[in-house]
Amino acid sequence: MNITFKQLSVFVTIAHHGSMTLAAEALFMTKGAISQTLAELENQLGVRLFDRQHARLFINHEGRKLLPVADELLARMQGVETLFGENSQDTHLRLGCTKTIGSYLLPDMLKSFAKGNGWMPQSVIANTQEISKMVDHFEIDVALLEGPATEPNLISEPWLNDEMVVIAGRDHALAKEKIVPYSKLSQERWLLREQGSSSRAFFDNQLALHLDNPQVVLSLNAFDAILSCVAHNLGITFISKRVLQQPFYAGHFVQLHTEQRFMRKLTLCYHKNKFISPTLQSWLSFSQSWPHV
């Protein structure tokens, strides 16, 4: 058996994209070369790594067994190339963030990390469900989530404390009340994030339990759009208190103080079989010490 790094690279890229055409574009190869390389790998292993359905390829059980090993071998090879290359610093890191973290924490993190290291990781922002899936499929190396991952193959490390608060427009009828009872909040119109986001899950599993059949009139996948609607008094929302600390929101919103506080833990997340390269370890250490670095 003579498995090559080229074969493993093709396999991992197809697993990430689910398509030979997209894998060919990513690797600057022809589709025919991609198909031939995958066939050679499968013939050497004696198994199929993907289930074929029309133009799509879906990684199967055998492929999932190979994926973490292939990902680690490629990471180690990249480390060797970096170690003996002209540029001795490995800067290949794929980072995922949920939308609140990506919008309101990530810019400061990247600025601080770049100042100390001279480079920034590739970053992608999506909701918790999408980011967790990407970590599980080795499409990204590490993620910053608004809560623990629920997938059994993912490790979640506690990161930052975060308080969720009820937000209304500055001219809202409840804006001047010291404490807003749950009975009044139950009568309000709620503007929330979409299903699959951590913010929505936290509302459903925490605050909503104290409300009497809350009326969710709008679900959107971006807090900027939600806050714009809140500013126009179309309803109220449930959001990280960190959002109110952004200078461009100052004076437009007020926090409605509730009968109790709602705290959650932001987490660092990676696959349990992920190879912790020196580059990945540097980001994990930086994140755990941020914002004090």
Same domain, 154 and 165: no
Q: Evaluate if residue 250 carries a pLDDT over 90.
A: no
Residue 75, domain CATH = 1.10.10.10
pLDDT score of 55: 75
**Angle formed at CA 124 by CA 121 and CA 125, multiple of 5 degrees:** 130
Tell which of 82, 105, 126 closes a domain. Answer: 82
Tell which of 82, 108, 125 closes a domain. Answer: 82
Band the pLDDT of 249: cuts 50, 70, 90. confident
- The answer to whether position 121 is within a domain reads yes
> For residue 244, what are the contacts with CB-CB under 8 A and spacing of at least 6?
165, 167, 253, 255
pLDDT score of 87: 58
Q: Evaluate if residue 40 carries a pLDDT over 70.
A: yes
Q: For the chain, give percent helix, strand, coil, nearest 5.
A: 45, 25, 35
pLDDT tens-place string over residues 27-36: 999 999 999 9
Residue 271's domain comprises: 94-160+266-289
- The answer to whether position 133 is within a domain reads yes
Same domain, 180 and 38: no
Domain count, the chain: 3
- Give mean pLDDT, residues 270-274: 92
- The answer to whether position 129 is within a domain reads yes
Residue 176, domain CATH = 3.40.190.10
Q: If you ran DSSP here, which 8-state letter would residue 261 be given?
A: -
Q: Evaluate if residue 209 carries a pLDDT over 60.
A: yes
Same domain, 222 and 171: yes
Maximum pairwise Cα distance, the chain: 73
DSSP element (H, E) containing 83 = helix 61-83
Tell which of 52, 82, 112 closes a domain. Answer: 82
Phi-psi map region of 66: left, alpha, beta (phi>0 left; psi -120 to 50 alpha): alpha
Helix (H, G, I), strand (E, B) or coil at 231: helix
Same domain, 41 and 76: yes
- The answer to whether position 88 is within a domain reads no
Helix (H, G, I), strand (E, B) or coil at 118: coil
- The answer to whether position 87 is within a domain reads no
- Give mean pLDDT, residues 239-264: 89
Same domain, 136 and 183: no
Rg (CA), the chain: 23
Q: How far is CA 59 from CA 53, 137, 139, in A?
A: 11, 10, 13
pLDDT score of 84: 62
Q: How far apart are CA 234 and CA 167, in angstroms?
A: 12
Band the pLDDT of 75: cuts 50, 70, 90. confident
- The answer to whether position 110 is within a domain reads yes
Closest CA to 286 of 152, 144, 187: 144
pLDDT score of 251: 81
Band the pLDDT of 222: cuts 50, 70, 90. confident
Same domain, 51 and 103: no
Q: Evaluate if residue 149 carries a pLDDT over 90.
A: no
Same domain, 190 and 130: no
Q: Evaluate if residue 113 carries a pLDDT over 80.
A: yes
> For residue 48, what are the contacts with CB-CB under 8 A and spacing of at least 6?
42, 60, 62
Q: Using omega within 30 degrees of 0 as the cis cutoff, is the peptide bond preceding 291 cis?
A: yes
Q: How far is CA 174 from CA 13, 228, 258, in A?
A: 53, 18, 11
